[in-house]
Amino acid sequence: MAIETDGSSGRRRRPGGLTPGQARRESAKARRQRTEEILARLRREYPKAHTALDHRNAFQLLVATILSAQCTDKRVNEVTPALFRRFPTPRELAAANLTELEELVRTTGFFRNKARALLGLGQALMAEHGGKVPADMEQLRRLPGVGRKTANVVLGSAFGQNVGVVVDTHVQRLARRLGLTTETDPEKIERDLMALVPQPDWTVWSHLLIAHGRQVCQARRPLCASCVVADLCPSAES
């Protein structure tokens, strides 16, 4: 079999699997079946996949997810124990001193914006939601610092609701490499994935892609030779 090359990088494609041309031409039904097979294999590979952000409730997960923008989960997990000790509920957060809050979240980057968002979040939760995190996409999105991705994280991992698919940098990269989308905009990628992945699996799907992206399908050097879905991936390299 002729070995195709990736036009942009010149890397050698792994022979025997799905070619980019086949992936482009596959029917919606075939792509859904391929997606379900990818899901099944990744489930076996990462049976404990879950959010890497330490939290005990929806409020803590919401705060940690806001802090995780442009920051590693590891760094966020270093910061949140002291933050949650000092501000255990929206009530304490709503009354926070902004300078103290900035100091506590400084190492997560963009700390002034994040501290302001957290203060606003505490105040909005107290003023509009009785100090509780709403389990509703539209209400979540109206909170300071909360976009669709953050709302999806909280709805999926704190409330067990599959309202959307979390599209972070790993999910974006893997969805494109796996030929499940050609989009670059996260909301369009999410729409493509929602059409392919069964709804009950939307939350776990993101956890699995993130785990695979961290351990195998890394940004700079995907470890295709060790990948359990290589034969289903049009980007597999030899």
Q: Which is nearer to ligand SF4, 153 or 209 (CB)?
A: 209
| Annotation says 54 is catalytic | no
Which position among 54, 73, 136, 168 bears the catalytic label? 168
Among residues 75, 93, 74, 71, the alpha carbon closest in space to that of 84 is found at 93
Q: Which is nearer to ligand SF4, 105 or 178 (CB)?
A: 178
Please report how close the Cβ of residue 215 comes to ligand SF4 at its closest, in angstroms: 10
| Residue numbers at the binding site for ligand SF4 (CB under 6 A) | 177-178, 216-217, 222-224, 227, 229-230, 233, 235-236
Please report how close the Cβ of residue 18 comes to ligand SF4 at its closest, in angstroms: 10
Phi then psi for 5, rounded to 5 degrees?
A: -115, 150
Angle between helices 186-196 and 202-215 (to 10 degrees): 110
| Annotation says 29 is catalytic | no
Which position among 149, 188, 192, 231 bears the catalytic label? 149
Cβ–Cβ < 8 Å for 31, 21: no
Encoding tokens for residue 21? 């041309």
Neighbours of 22 (CB within 10 A): 12
Query: What whole-number distance in Å separates Cα of residue 95 and Cα of residue 83?
Result: 14
Q: Which is nearer to ligand SF4, 17 or 156 (CB)?
A: 17
Please report how close the Cβ of residue 70 comes to ligand SF4 at its closest, in angstroms: 24
Q: Which residues are catalytic?
A: 149, 168
